[in-house]
Structure 1
């Protein structure tokens, strides 16, 4: 078996620094090339790759494990990538014409040069491989290559570039504008700094929120405008109710309990009770928007949202009764509480029954009245297949 010990210089340091043109074939010529590169740049590890290849060549010669052994050096191109790999393949073909090897042992100094292994294996089997480590050079070169590769991917991927370049770019841009404005109005530096910081946090928070919940803002503005308007309205109602309850919590406590409790679990439960109505109303507004949007789009799943509105009174009753019971205002034996619980049960039963009929109606409505045909088509097809 004839084996070729092959030193690889993918970025053509030999050509750039020492004027050595590849391929270089033979022990003596390889040593001369390594000496030239060592004199031109003593810190370049590619010279050590050639020395290691020559040493391996001598060892294999002495061992007599193979029928014949040869050592060679191939150099690529400074533009690492397609150009360098094409050049390496061309030089490898020249080497194989002069020494028709049956296998190859590539010698490299890091991850970048090892990217050409598929080129080698497409021409002849790789018997083994050797990586040359010069002090800390392996870690340094591998780390550099990984960082370079990911930076290149970030620049080429629009989504990644928006996150890793777009957001930091916006931050620097806003701070730059703020700094320029502060030169003309130094007394307003505090205000400018707070405004800039607020805009940055608002942008980053909004981006993270929309990406995390898969909310497509521009699509929602164009395709789901009605639902968006009702959703924002419901959110504003809930927010207003929460703020109002917080401001008037003491007044509400006196009306309901006759005294103002100390901050703690009791006051928190009282706060939950006080925002119950506005939260339910806000959710109802959101569901109304979804119903209108689904109706305009003739979406059969409109019945989900209708069922949600029908069941909302039950949630209101549950929160109202449990919070008032926790506050000691009512007990489960009072007539009013029993009526509320019965009302919740009636609402649940009514919601389930009504939702069943509503579901059938809207499925038929969305399909143009062909729901019965669709339901009976599957058994008929099954009977035909059995026959």
Structure 2
């Protein structure tokens, strides 16, 4: 087995500082290149990588474990990334033409150079690897690389820069404006501070909410206007119903229970019972909006929302029966309760049957009814071939 001991300089320190052009093949040439870099910059660890590669080359030669061994150095490009990796791949191909190895042992000085391992493995197997750590601790160098990489990503990625730079920048901007205004109007500092804090919390909360639920506000307003309108309407219905139930809960309690329960589990269960209808109506409005939007887009997944709309009465019955049973208003032996439970079962069966038929119809509708045409054309082609 022929093995190549390969020293890697991804950012081309050899070329920039010592004028050494890669690839460098052979023990003597590699030592000369390392000496040039050591004289140009004694603190550069890339020279020690080459020394370590030569040492490993000598050890493998003496052991006789492999049929043949060679040592080489490849250099990349100062613009670390695509350019450097392309250059490393080009130089590696040159080395392999002169020394057709069956395996490679890469020698690096840190995590950054190890990013080229996929390039090596795409051309020949990696037998082993060696990392050279000089003076500084390995963990420190790796940590430095990770921090550097993430800072670079934050600065270059628009999405990350909005979060890590945009939001803190907005906070400092608002506080700066507030401080400047308070210089001329010191008596209004409390009001200004509350306004600034409110705007900051509103912005951060809105951003976190939209990101957490994968809501793209501007895209939704332009592409899903109907769904947004119905969604906001359903949300307002739910909020209005919750407020109304909270304000009139005592009157509802006297009407249903004959007394007003003390704050606790009973009153909480009664509140759930009071907002049951409003929540179901609000969800129904949201689903209607999704159905209309999907219909206009001719989306075959519309049947999911139709199935959800059809099964909503079941959820209303479940909440109504369980809350009233918990309040002691009904029992499961009464005729009315049995009818409600049977109604829930009937609604589930009805929803499944209707949804199945709707799904079959919508798949054909979404494809424009092309399935039958394709099938008939295939039959015609078969019959012609037989003829």
TM-score by length of 1: 0.70
Q: For each residue in 1:81-139, what CA deviation from the matched residue of structure 2 results, as whole angstroms up to 9, or x when unmatched?
A: 45545655676688789xx5454655332344445567777888877654323354544
Match of 1:207 in 2: 211
Q: Is the 8 A contact 1:311 1:348 kept in 2?
A: no
Match of 1:250 in 2: 250
Match of 2:196 in 1: 192
Q: Is the 8 A contact 1:10 1:76 kept in 2?
A: yes
Q: For each residue in 1:208-258, what CA deviation from the matched residue of structure 2 results, as whole angstroms up to 9, or x when unmatched?
A: 12x1xxx55445434543343233222211111112222332333233333
Q: Is the 8 A contact 1:234 1:281 kept in 2?
A: yes
* Whole-angstrom CA distance in 2 between matches of 1:281 and 1:148: 52
- Shift of the 133–257 alpha-carbon distance from structure 1 to 2, 3 Å rule, reads same
Question: CA RMSD for the aligned pairs?
Answer: 4.8
Q: For each residue in 1:22-62, what CA deviation from the matched residue of structure 2 results, as whole angstroms up to 9, or x when unmatched?
A: 56566566445434433443332122223223333444555
Q: Is the 8 A contact 2:7 2:107 kept in 1?
A: yes
SS in 1 for 2:80: coil
Q: Is the 8 A contact 1:303 1:355 kept in 2?
A: no
* Whole-angstrom CA distance in 1 between matches of 2:135 and 2:11: 21
Match of 2:268 in 1: 268
SS in 2 for 1:48: helix
* Whole-angstrom CA distance in 2 between matches of 1:303 and 1:22: 62
* Whole-angstrom CA distance in 2 between matches of 1:297 and 1:203: 28
* Whole-angstrom CA distance in 2 between matches of 1:115 and 1:292: 50
Match of 2:335 in 1: 338
Deviation at 1:178, TM superposition (A): 0.7
- Shift of the 229–72 alpha-carbon distance from structure 1 to 2, 3 Å rule, reads closer
- Shift of the 346–216 alpha-carbon distance from structure 1 to 2, 3 Å rule, reads same
* Whole-angstrom CA distance in 2 between matches of 1:122 and 1:350: 59
- Shift of the 271–45 alpha-carbon distance from structure 1 to 2, 3 Å rule, reads same
* Whole-angstrom CA distance in 2 between matches of 1:308 and 1:3: 64
- Shift of the 197–134 alpha-carbon distance from structure 1 to 2, 3 Å rule, reads same
Match of 2:286 in 1: 286
Deviates more, 1:346-355 or 1:44-53: 346-355
Mapping for residues 95-244 of structure 1, pairs under 5 Å: 100-103=98-101, 106-115=106-115, 129-136=129-136, 138-145=138-145, 161-162=158-159, 164-186=160-182, 187=189, 188-209=192-213, 211=214, 215-244=215-244
* Whole-angstrom CA distance in 2 between matches of 1:85 and 1:15: 15
SS in 2 for 1:200: helix
The count of corresponding residues between Structure 1 and Structure 2 is 366
Match of 1:328 in 2: 328
* Whole-angstrom CA distance in 2 between matches of 1:351 and 1:93: 66
Structure 2 stretches of 5 or more lacking a match?
183-188
Matched, 1:47 2:53: no
- Shift of the 234–129 alpha-carbon distance from structure 1 to 2, 3 Å rule, reads closer
Deviates more, 1:7-16 or 1:85-94: 85-94
